A and B are shown apart, each in its own frame.
Chain A
Amino acid sequence: MRKSFALRVAALAAALVVVVCGLGFGWGFLRVESALRDQLDLAIASDAQDYLADFESLGANALIASVADAARRRGALVLLQTAEGTTIAGNIRGAPLGLNGFDDLHLPDGRDLRALGAILPRGLNLIVAADLAPVRRSAAALVGALPLAGVVAAFAALVLGFFAARRLELRLRRVSDAATAVIAGDLSRRLPETGGGDEFDRLSATTNAVLARVEALVEGLQATTTSIAHDLRSPLFRLRQALEAALARPRDPEADAATFEASLSELDSVLSTFAALLRIARAEAGVGNAGFVTVDLSELVTRVCETYEAVAEDAGKTLSAEVAPGLTLRADPDLLRQALANLIENALTHGGDRIRVVLQANGGATLIVTDNGPGIPPEEYAQVLQRFHRLDTSRNTPGTGLGLALVAAVARLHGARLELGDAGPGLRVTLALPSH
């Protein structure tokens, strides 16, 4: 059975109203009754004062006469009895003996009385009383309207609760519908955001950010799969052909050795492509965050530049470095080193004969690698950061075509901005690392 959140909330609200009203009514009844009793007590005390005044000024006989008179004529509830309980005058039957002070009496005939007793000289006991029934009726009448109000309130709570909860339920259902669509494979689906900035909006915004990240990762994965299929198939196919041809021809140790060597080097290049892809995947998954350490970036850049100065020189090129000292930040040194090496090797392979590496401090750290080669047309900037993109589509220049894709992934992992630009002539790559 489908459980309705709205119904449950409405029922809960109504039940709460009923309980609160019930407690309120009970308390109200008690307060009203107690106020009425206080008034009753005052009236009784005042009557008793009158009788006692008669007794003190005129004597016992006068008291007896006025009690009898009051009982008979005014219908007042009053009694004068001896210490043994013999009625002298008055009309209360079944009163207790020796009542002194206020008390509630329950008479044998079923009436409840409020009574004030006084012990007079010679054992006389005067009791002045009033019926409690009117007090109770008045209290009940005064609070009698309240239960109706309670019922109305409970009903209102039920209705309001239902609609409020229903609204909530609808919003939740939209979220759940969107999530279901994502599960079904529509990764571009996003949760509704009303722009109201309430908790739901914030939840939607966060979830949408998660979905965007997941979509990007999945797209990356698909791109990788496609590129693997595309780029690794050809060398593997060449390898297969070479081995097949070698197997078919008569055994010749020298030719076989040559085939084996060529095959091994072909395999090595496939493996290094694999390694590069795995590195990119690792950087993109962001797991490296756990491996962040404090890195002396100045030293790292200096060392990599020293390494490649010699490589450049041997290739008849020059590499100059201008490194701001003492720059440290939290980073993955392994990946940063490889990203810089990739940028420099990229410049060495494709970019002219003068390469310049600059590390500047500006809040964070900015790393700039410039060459004086042919550069890249601006419309291709985005593409060259993709996996396996090569400007030389014949794929004659060395490299896996993954160098800049790795740099882009490393930049993303470090929250860095990666920009390609025109060095006029040549390519300028800027990697701006934040300081955090």
Chain B
Amino acid sequence: MRVLVIEDDVTTADYIAKGLGELGHVVELARTGKDGLFLALNETFDAIITDRMLPGPDGVAILRALRASGIRTPVLIVTAMGEVEARVDGLDAGADDYLAKPFAFSELRARLDAMTRRVSETTEGEASVLRVGDLEFNLLRRTVRRGTTKIDLLPTELRLLEFMMRHPGQVLTRTMLLERVWDFNFDPTTNVVDVHMSRLRRKLDAAGPPLIRTMRGAGYMLAADDA
């Protein structure tokens, strides 16, 4: 993937660039909002990671300019900690995701992954049934079956599974799950995600081989064996 990173802080920029480089991505770095906007408008990228606060046009302004010129490249906005309003602003302006500093690289990687794949998936249109391997989620009836077995899930488990089935084969971090499934924009002190994940996993695995994998130090992934 070709990724544009717009970040004025040298340490953060190098951290992101080095990490993405090791994953085999090609990284373009821009240190100011002006340079970043120029690159974003004139070259093609698979994803853009931009800081919220920048010299020149800031992250949200860049985002608005891109969307105004019809550029749909997925954008991840990185902000300083605690800027909750910034998250709302960014998502309103058309950002695909949001990440608060400081973050673990695994978090950035998972979000970049989910973001770029989501775009390719949504182009296929909204399906009424989600499928991963022999697992089937009927979105209209809110029912789940695996092969021929009907699986009874609680509302929270249904929401969790739906989100995971919309991102098959992708690492989903606990923070991502908390934000998207629970609307929790904070870190609970109890192991909320793990508790529900293990219940969901027990119910799914009763009807076949394991579908949910734990990615150590990163999060969870839903994938059929053949995937």
Hey, which bits of chain A sit against chain B, CB under 8 A? 271-272, 274-276, 278-279, 281-282, 287, 291, 303, 306-308, 310-311, 314-315, 333-334, 337-338, 341, 345, 348-349, 398-400, 403
| B183 within 8 A of partner (CB) | yes
| B125 within 8 A of partner (CB) | no
CB closest residue in chain B, given A341 = B188
A275 and B190 contacting across the interface, CB-CB below 8 Å: no
B67-110 interface with A by 8 A CB criterion? 81-82, 84-85, 88, 102
Q: A276-B186, A400-B189 are in contact. List 4 more A-B contacts (CB 8 A).
A: A306-B155, A307-B182, A311-B190, A349-B190
B191 and A311 contacting across the interface, CB-CB below 8 Å: yes
Hey, which bits of chain B sit against chain A, CB under 8 A? 81-82, 84-85, 88, 102, 154-156, 182-192, 195-196, 199
From A271, A303, A311, A338, B186 is in contact (CB under 8 Å) with A338
Which B residues lie within 8 Å of A315 (CB)? 190
A-B contact count (CB 8 A): 67
Report the separation of the CA atoms of residues A303 and B158 in the bound assembly, to the nearest whole angstrom.
12
Which A residues lie within 8 Å of B102 (CB)? 271
A291 and B156 contacting across the interface, CB-CB below 8 Å: no
Which A residues lie within 8 Å of B81 (CB)? 271, 274-275, 278
CB closest residue in chain B, given A278 = B82
Which A residues lie within 8 Å of B154 (CB)? 306, 310
Which B residues lie within 8 Å of A306 (CB)? 154-156
B195 and A314 contacting across the interface, CB-CB below 8 Å: yes
Report the separation of the CA atoms of residues A349 and B199 in the bound assembly, to the nearest whole angstrom.
21
CB closest residue in chain B, given A315 = B190
Report the separation of the CA atoms of residues A161 and B88 in the bound assembly, to the nearest whole angstrom.
57
B88 and A291 contacting across the interface, CB-CB below 8 Å: yes
CB closest residue in chain A, given B103 = A271
A307-B196, A311-B191 are contacts. A279–B82 as well, Cβ < 8 Å?
A: yes
B184 and A338 contacting across the interface, CB-CB below 8 Å: yes
From B182, B186, B196, A275 is in contact (CB under 8 Å) with B186
A278-B81, A282-B84, A287-B85 are contacts. A307–B192 as well, Cβ < 8 Å?
A: yes
Which B residues lie within 8 Å of A314 (CB)? 195
Report the separation of the CA atoms of residues A341 and B183 in the bound assembly, to the nearest whole angstrom.
12
Most chain A CB within a 10 A radius of its CB, from B82, B154, B190, B195:
B190
CB closest residue in chain A, given B102 = A271
From B183, B187, B195, B199, A337 is in contact (CB under 8 Å) with B183
